[in-house]
């Protein structure tokens, strides 16, 4: 009889131990445990890594020890990216301004931002290959993608999110408590995990399957017109490669430049100071981030303010040489002269740029709206 009682006690202790293990109390803080719901199925916390797959000729992405990619983190971020639950009136989502059909950019301008008390209107930037970037926004004001996500949610002219309301919605949601536990091992959903999850999803959005990528891997041949355009692009003849670097095959530059789109006789003659607002240095006025020209066929309108509606307009701007101002980049060597490219050469250059369009990005189900699958 005593042995039977002893066995029952051991089984009871084992069950209690298992219940404690399921709650992951060694990982979860006491504050988070206070939000634990006895009758809710949280599933299993799993921090398995998410691996970015990219071709060998692409440079290595930046390391991120503060927010490493996990499979569950990326899945959660994808849901949050497409859920209007984060906006004040539940009508706007991240995807509202970053559409997959437009390589995660917007086909129209009108996004207002406020920085240092100044309200400015800018074009929505494309969101792909962000795991390789160290500064974000057109004026490069944020040094982490997490900070950019946070400010975008809080933007009073956009999502206008209130964190107290957002967290209350998520905590009382039917599935999000489980999603956050499985991704981060927490019962109390907090702001930083919301931001981290979305940033993880954005970093997972890769675009390295354009015809030019396939050409570099020996899978296809490019038309002669496009190859001639590449020669123009990658030499002083076109003068493109300085700001859209070929090295690393990302075709961007983690720097702010004045590409001569505005004429000014002084350092203060710009409608939008751009990077100058961040540094408070007048010689940075009129400078904006040199973004990737991958998927350039899907991301119109162009420039920080969306002033150019077509790729032809962009090429004509550079062929004209651009406009002088005291802060214009020294790489704009043909101010007042122009590149003097012929119409045939302009068509060749455009043909090359089109080989950077990765149409598979627009259809990749890993990046699409998960709620369409339900």
| Residues 121, 128, 345, 332, CA torsion sign | positive
167 shares a domain with 65: yes
The Cβ-side half-sphere exposure at 314, using a 13 Å CA radius, reads 22
Of 286, 327, 281, the closest CA to residue 303 belongs to 286
349 shares a domain with 247: yes
226 shares a domain with 191: no
Is 14 a member of any domain? no
286 shares a domain with 190: no
Domain extent at residue 149: 35-206
User: pLDDT tens string for the chain (374 positions)?
Assistant: 445 444 444 444 444 334 333 444 455 777 888 899 999 999 999 999 999 999 999 999 998 899 999 999 999 999 999 999 999 999 999 999 999 999 999 998 777 777 777 777 899 999 999 999 999 999 999 999 999 999 999 998 889 999 999 999 999 999 999 999 999 999 999 999 999 999 999 999 999 999 999 999 999 999 999 999 999 999 999 999 999 999 889 999 889 999 999 999 999 999 999 999 999 999 999 999 999 999 999 999 999 999 999 999 999 999 999 999 999 999 999 998 999 999 999 999 999 999 999 999 999 999 999 998 65
Cα 228 versus chain centre, distance = 31
175 shares a domain with 115: yes
Rounded Cα gap, residues 15 and 339, in angstroms: 77
Query: For the chain, what is the domain count?
Result: 2
Token pair of 310 as six digits: 């077509």
Q: Choose the final residue of a domain: 177, 206, 235.
A: 206
Rounded Cα gap, residues 286 and 318, in angstroms: 17
CATH number of the CATH domain containing 187: 1.10.760.10
Confidence at residue 27, expressed as pLDDT on a 0 to 100 scale: 59
pTM of the entire structure? 0.91
CA distances from 181 to 5, 15, 76, 84, 196 (A): 37, 21, 10, 21, 14
Confidence at residue 220, expressed as pLDDT on a 0 to 100 scale: 98
| Residues 255, 261, 266, 269, CA torsion sign | negative
Going by their DSSP bridges, the two strands 111-115 and 118-122 should be labelled as antiparallel
118 shares a domain with 57: yes
CA distances from 10 to 7, 20, 86, 188, 272 (A): 5, 15, 47, 32, 71
Is 15 a member of any domain? no
218 shares a domain with 195: no
225 shares a domain with 159: no
Count of C-beta atoms within a 10 Å radius of residue 14: 10
314 shares a domain with 329: yes
How many helices (H) and strands (E) in the chain? 13, 4
Confidence at residue 8, expressed as pLDDT on a 0 to 100 scale: 42
Confidence at residue 233, expressed as pLDDT on a 0 to 100 scale: 97
């Amino acid at each position: 009889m005593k042995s039977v009682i002893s066995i029952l006690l051991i089984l009871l202790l084992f069950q209690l131990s298992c219940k404690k293990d399921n709650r992951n109390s060694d990982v979860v803080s006491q504050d988070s445990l206070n939000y634990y719901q006895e009758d809710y199925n949280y599933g299993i916390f799993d921090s398995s890594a998410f691996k970015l797959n990219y071709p060998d000729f692409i440079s290595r992405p930046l390391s991120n020890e503060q927010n490493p990619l996990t499979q569950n983190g990326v899945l959660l971020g994808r849901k949050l990216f497409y859920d209007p639950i984060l906006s004040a009136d539940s009508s706007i989502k991240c995807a509202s301004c970053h559409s997959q059909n437009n390589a995660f950019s917007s086909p129209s301008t009108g996004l207002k931002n406020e920085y240092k008390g100044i309200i400015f209107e800018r074009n929505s930037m494309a969101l792909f290959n962000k795991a390789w970037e160290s500064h974000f926004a057109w004026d490069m004001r944020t040094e982490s993608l997490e900070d950019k996500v946070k400010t975008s949610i809080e933007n009073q002219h956009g999502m206008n999110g209130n964190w107290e309301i957002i967290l209350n919605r998520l905590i009382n949601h039917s599935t999000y408590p489980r999603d956050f536990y499985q991704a981060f091992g927490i019962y109390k959903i907090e702001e930083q995990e919301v931001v981290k999850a979305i940033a993880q999803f954005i970093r997972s959005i890769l675009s390295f399957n354009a015809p030019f990528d396939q050409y570099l891997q020996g899978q296809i041949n490019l038309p002669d017109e496009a190859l001639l355009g590449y020669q123009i692009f990658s030499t002083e003849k076109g003068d493109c490669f300085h700001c859209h670097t070929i090295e690393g095959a990302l075709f961007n530059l983690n720097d702010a430049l004045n590409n001569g789109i505005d004429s000014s006789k002084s350092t203060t003659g710009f409608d939008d100071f751009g990077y100058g607002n961040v540094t408070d240095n007048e010689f940075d006025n009129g400078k904006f981030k040199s973004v990737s020209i991958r998927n350039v066929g899907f991301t119109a309108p162009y420039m920080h303010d969306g002033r150019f509606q077509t790729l032809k307009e962009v090429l004509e701007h550079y062929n004209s040489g651009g406009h002088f101002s005291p802060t214009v980049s020294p790489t704009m060597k043909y101010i007042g002269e122009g590149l003097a490219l012929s119409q045939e050469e302009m068509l060749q250059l455009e043909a090359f740029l089109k080989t950077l369009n990765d149409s598979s990005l627009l259809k990749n189900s890993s990046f699409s709206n998960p709620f369409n699958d339900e």
